[in-house]
Amino acid sequence: MEQENEFETGGTRIADEFLGEFEKRFRALARKAKRIGVEPPSFRFGEKGVSPILTNRQKDLDVQNRRAQIPAVDWLANPDQPRYRWTTVHVSGEAPRLPGWKFLGIVEPSKVEGVNRIQGLPGEDLSDFREVAMDCDHCGVNRHRARVAVIRDEESGQEFQIGMSCVRDFLGGNSHPETVARWAWSLFAFPSSLAGLSVGSGSTVLLPLMEVLGRASRRIAVDGKFISAAKAREDDWLVSTRDAVLRVWDKRHLDEFSDLMPKVEDFALASKVCEWVREMSTDPVVNRDQYLLNLRLAFESPWIECKEVGIVVSAFVAYHRAMTQETFKREEEERKSSASPIPETDDRFLVEGEIVRAKWKDTDFGQVLKITIQHEDGWRVWGSCPSKFDAEELVGKSMRFMARVTVAEEDDTFGFFKRPTKPELLEVSR
């Protein structure tokens, strides 16, 4: 195997009682690999542990304790607490190939005419196929196609889009390349299929977009933040926002999520998010952000598939980030319009002003606290905070020090300070 084509998934935690089911599914995947003539995957068991099975009230208490910064309850200390044993499973393998060719992924038409849904294998960028017609480079017949496969000639590097019924003829082989392509996608999606989500996975059940958004807004309000699926996998105490919304439609979880009925303010926020997303262009030339384009396509219809819930509920994070950026941009424009230029000098001079922003940044030398200081004349400087000060409650206080400042090339009201000396921290006089 070529090293660049090998992969191993992050650990997936599986209850020990379901390890038999996991091995059954894995054997089926491996048998299919051998049947179609590709390298079968492998797996290994990793970390083991025990976790409590919590009631809804226990979960709520854990959430409240975390918000109040109270130590978590050790539920396992109670001998009567229901519990389960789990094992972490890692799946590894090689991206499947046929001699001289590599499958890159699948292209399907989306709800928006002329814009496609792309499903590339890990590490493959299929953005060039966003707007292509569902034509076949082999037969050239102009007809409706539900999907085409994207294939690369490994010798020339040339990429082709081939209709599923033509793949075998195009490659001139006896095996069924369409099956290989589908198996490849199943392989990379296999770990996520073990998450235990029982509602809607792979089904054609349709959910109302606005109700999904409303329930997601309520869940985010109750949790105090958006919880991604990746974050939930790292923490036994967490349920991802996506899973919480999906479980509302599962009768087995009605009691657990019955208190998450959307309120008026949730639907109001959902309407703003929906309006913001639908203002985006569905033109890949205009909207070049692949995540935002996929998000826009998911919002095209008032009904969504269960597999689209994850990206739909993530719209709240994207919306909040965009609104924050707009507010910052507006405040910056207002500040620049009234700010004086930074004094032009090569010498060190006294910098004094309010700390308006403080944020830790990862560097080659470890984490460094960066601060932004605004002078009373409106100009701002940015740089590393003197090490004698802590990050706690810095914002809102006044600091002064001696430093050399380099003015930004395109903005004479913003600069970068270096090696501050004689720093003093003062309260801001309001």
The closest of 47, 41, 36, 37 to 11, measured between CA atoms, is: 47
Alpha carbon distance 30, 51 (integer Å): 30
Tens of pLDDT, residue by residue over 355-368, are: 988 888 877 777 88
Tens of pLDDT, residue by residue over 410-425, are: 889 999 998 888 888 8
Tokens of 427: 């309260």
Tens of pLDDT, residue by residue over 91-139, are: 777 655 666 777 777 788 877 777 887 877 666 788 888 888 888 888 8
State the Cα angle at 313 between 256 and 258, rounded to 5°: 20
Read off the pLDDT band of 252 (50, 70, 90). very low
Tens of pLDDT, residue by residue over 25-69, are: 788 878 877 776 677 888 888 888 888 877 656 766 777 777 777
Q: Which residues of 6-37 are buried (b: 16+ CB within 10 A; e: fewer)?
A: ebebebbbbeeebeeebeeebeebeebbeebe
Instruction: Sort strands 97-98 and 42-52 into parallel, antiparallel or unpaired.
Output: unpaired
The average pLDDT across 236-261 equals 69
Tens of pLDDT, residue by residue over 320-334, are: 999 999 998 888 888
Tokens of 390: 């802590």
Query: Domains along the chain?
Result: 3-93 (no CATH), 97-191 (no CATH), 206-319 (no CATH), 349-427 (2.40.50.140)
With a cut of 50, say whether residue 200 has pLDDT above it.
Answer: no
What is the rounded radius of gyration, in angstroms, for the C-alpha atoms of the chain? 27
Tens of pLDDT, residue by residue over 6-24, are: 656 666 777 777 777 778 8
Task: Assess contact for 405 and 417: CB atoms under 8 A.
Answer: yes
Residue by residue, DSSP assigns 255-283 as TTTTT----HHHHHHHHHHHHHHHTS---
The average pLDDT across 167-192 equals 59
Alpha carbon distance 82, 243 (integer Å): 22
